[in-house]
Structure 1
Amino acid sequence: MSLGRKFLYRKFSKSFRELTQPLREEAAVEDEEGGSYPSCGADTDRAGSPEAAAAYGQSWGTMLPDLLGEIIRRVEASGDQWPQRQSVVACACVCKRWREVTKEIVRAPSNCEKITFPSCLKQPGPNGFSHQCLIRRNIKKSTFYLYLALTPSFTEKGKFLLAARRHRHGAYVEFIISHDLDDLSQRSNAYVGKLRSDFLGTSFTIYDSQPPHSGARPSSSRASHRFASKQICPQVPAGNFEVGHVTYKFNLLKSRGPRRMVCTLRCPSREEAYPEREKKTNVQSDTEMKKSASSSSSSYGSTVLRNKAPRWHEHLQCWCLNFHGRVTVASVKNFQLVATVDYRQPGGRGDENKVLLQFGKVGEDTFTMDYQQPLSAFQAFAICLTSFGTKIACE
């Protein structure tokens, strides 16, 4: 047993024992009444010996299926936000069987409005409800940190989600995005994706480290390669996959007001974002499977976002937007994005009154980021990173 496994066993054995005691008593009564549940310690074929069978029967992986599912359901329902959500992660770390059951029970963020695992960072956010996040900047180290806000206060950090570091390669700027606070390397297993600008700093390309959908091909450009030499591990993609573009309109003389930006993103549908769940919950006939296969290319469509036009305030003599108290400092970086093209809507037309992403300044190095479906935390963070830095051609 590894050291991490021993730590988790000691930490949660007592709480799980207290939680499952009533359920174990019910299972014992059913066994005495002629129930069909097998004895956990009687599997001598798999264990090989009575001593090994006894040890195998005491492991968490041999728990009754109904009992195991009920435990994870209660743990999942016990905490709506962090730090209580760490109990769900602890359940998934017990063993492979617990991890599979946990994935089946814990729903996607678009349905449960909760962020639990790192995979949730690339899944669409909630519908009709925004995840409120904070971005903290470290100018000296050129790093940016994304936190999930747990309270309305702007002073508390919250739950860490993503980190990014800015690098300059000649005239180009890159942001390496990782889900590790300290390891911000493109060769790391914690690497999530990156953002790359052109030499003017007005056009950005968002790259994902993983294929965003089935059949996706990595970008052929040299700048999108993760490794200079041969790929070391076949499980780690050597290239990056383009998932979006952000463009700032030229405005040298400021004759058109504040910054104007357009974002074109490849946003997955619910089936593409959570394929394993859909395979288990949806039983399709042969004709339905053929139709879904023919329309698989359209299930991964493009969404076009543009910044909401601010209004000129005569009394304050400045451009204003209503951030509903989430932005407190005036800055050229502040923006709100609405959808002009949304493939999920009938006719593909987006609702220009619904703000899908807003970003603004609340302190010297503190910013707020609120996003919702169809954007993911990774996409929203990458878009907000484009706002940092001086853009001579836009202001």
Structure 2
Amino acid sequence: MLPELLGEIITRLESSEDRWPLRKDVVSCACVCKRWRDVTKGIVKSPSNSGQITFPESLKQPGPRDAPLQCFIKRNKKNSTFYLYLGLTQTFMDKGKFLLAARRFRHGAHTEYIISLDADDLSQGSNAYVGKLSSDFLGTKFTIYDSQPPYEGAKPSSSRASRRFASKQISPQVPAGNFEIGQISYKFNLLKSRGPRRMLCMLQCPSTRPKSDDELKNDDESKKPTSLQNSTSSTGSMVLKNKAPRWHEHLQCWCLNFHGRVTVASVKNFQLVASVDPSQPGAKGDEETVLLQFGKVGDDIFTMDYRQPLSAFQAFAICLTSFGTKLACE
């Protein structure tokens, strides 16, 4: 088939099928062969531009800027497993499009959440492994690890607890390791003051600025990566904190406006906004725009809405930290 004709067919298919499950036809086109895959991936836009999740790589790309992607998490208490779905409708009862799964494991005094693309294969040795979340003894400090380097030249963590014990690799060129991309901490509430948990997140977020033609040309011609250049050009530091709630006199409780996306009061509910990064002179925070909100709508169902600069993988990992009892923080 002529490349022009193939491109026109996929372009029309891409524009006509903007929701799952019909969107699986776009993915099917990319699975035909390498040429079809290259054409399809060249036409399908990233979530930051299209507001849609299409390929697995979209899960590690920033979400849309103008409106959040609405997802939900289902919890299975029996096997300590959590499933992330993309919401297909505005209700909380739809089946959703499966995105990621995570399982909680105990390693002595520490807890780990293994995150995978396969709901039935949750191990670091799996080809579906995408990253993990590791907590400290008290469950108040967490570290997010990505299975892929966040920028060229990044080095995997050297600690034994964070190594990927795997014999299989997706590609020989892809390092088999865990790369630290963020930390989440919960502040102690020693005075037992009333209010929700207080969170602070420090993350490495992918760049959302599109490259110019000159930059793309320079990327092809230049083969001199340095850790500093790559970390500043392809990733950015981001500090998030939980949005302060307001005391509701009539209800006699702390309240946040979730715009109907949260229906059950819970200490797990939170909203994250941009804070000032102390390492960046002149940095400004935005305490009005909610970048990630998480809240309870049923016994084991929670909503998760995120936007730029967070990816679905990062947002899911942050929400996983909310599960579990934190006696010193409540």
Equivalenced residues, count:
326
Which of 229, 232, 241 aligns to 1:298? It is 232
Partner Cα separation in structure 1 for residue 93 and residue 4 of structure 2: 43
Cross-structure match for 2:207: 269
Cross-structure match for 2:90: 152
1:88 Cα deviation (Å)?
0.7
Cross-structure match for 1:318: 253
| Residue pair 2:17, 2:23 contacting (<8 A) in 1 also | yes
Cross-structure match for 1:216: 154
Q: Once the two structures are superposed, what CA deviation does each residue of 1:139-172 show, in whole Å capped at 9, x if it has no partner?
A: 0010000000010111112100000000011110
For structure 1, the 5+ residue unaligned runs are: 1-62
| Residue pair 1:162, 1:178 contacting (<8 A) in 2 also | yes
Cross-structure match for 2:143: 205
Q: 1:168 to 1:353 in 2, by over 3 A?
A: same
Counterpart mapping for 1:1-395 below 5 A: 63-227=1-165, 234-255=172-193, 257-270=195-208, 278=211, 284=217, 295-299=229-233, 300-341=235-276, 347-395=282-330
Partner Cα separation in structure 2 for residue 367 and residue 320 of structure 1: 17
| Residue pair 1:134, 1:157 contacting (<8 A) in 2 also | no
| Residue pair 2:126, 2:166 contacting (<8 A) in 1 also | no
Partner Cα separation in structure 1 for residue 42 and residue 294 of structure 2: 34
Q: Once the two structures are superposed, what CA deviation does each residue of 1:95-123 show, in whole Å capped at 9, x if it has no partner?
A: 11000111111111100111000000000
Q: Secondary structure at the match of 1:298?
A: helix
Specify the code of the residue in structure 2 equivalent to 1:244.
G
* Higher strand proportion: 2
Specify the code of the residue in structure 1 equivalent to 2:261.
R
After superposing the two structures, state which structure 1 stretch, 254-263 or 70-79, moved more.
254-263
1:341 Cα deviation (Å)?
3.1
| Residue pair 2:208, 2:309 contacting (<8 A) in 1 also | no
Partner Cα separation in structure 1 for residue 173 and residue 54 of structure 2: 23
Q: Once the two structures are superposed, what CA deviation does each residue of 1:25-59 show, in whole Å capped at 9, x if it has no partner?
A: xxxxxxxxxxxxxxxxxxxxxxxxxxxxxxxxxxx
Partner Cα separation in structure 2 for residue 95 and residue 280 of structure 1: 28
| Residue pair 1:224, 1:240 contacting (<8 A) in 2 also | yes
* Higher helix proportion: 1
Partner Cα separation in structure 1 for residue 170 and residue 58 of structure 2: 27
After superposing the two structures, state which structure 1 stretch, 230-239 or 247-256, moved more.
230-239
| Residue pair 1:209, 1:240 contacting (<8 A) in 2 also | yes
1:193 Cα deviation (Å)?
0.3
Q: 1:338 to 1:282 in 2, by over 3 A?
A: same
Specify the code of the residue in structure 2 equivalent to 1:226.
R
Specify the code of the residue in structure 2 equivalent to 1:80.
D
1:256 Cα deviation (Å)?
5.6
Q: Secondary structure at the match of 1:348?
A: coil
Specify the code of the residue in structure 2 equivalent to 1:336.
Q
Partner Cα separation in structure 1 for residue 75 and residue 191 of structure 2: 29
| Residue pair 1:109, 1:126 contacting (<8 A) in 2 also | yes
Partner Cα separation in structure 2 for residue 74 and residue 231 of structure 1: 35
Q: Percent identity?
A: 74
Specify the code of the residue in structure 2 equivalent to 1:351.
D
Q: Once the two structures are superposed, what CA deviation does each residue of 1:242-265 show, in whole Å capped at 9, x if it has no partner?
A: 000000000134226321000000
Q: 1:163 to 1:309 in 2, by over 3 A?
A: same
1:348 Cα deviation (Å)?
2.6
Specify the code of the residue in structure 1 equivalent to 2:99.
L
For structure 2, the 5+ residue unaligned runs are: none
Q: Once the two structures are superposed, what CA deviation does each residue of 1:245-296 show, in whole Å capped at 9, x if it has no partner?
A: 000000134226321000000001036xx8xxx587855469x979x98854
- What root-mean-square deviation, in Å, do the aligned CA atoms of Structure 1 and Structure 2 show? 2.7
Q: Once the two structures are superposed, what CA deviation does each residue of 1:326-348 show, in whole Å capped at 9, x if it has no partner?
A: 000000000000001379x9943
Please report the TM-score for the alignment, with normalisation by the length of structure 2: 0.92
Partner Cα separation in structure 2 for residue 279 and residue 192 of structure 1: 29
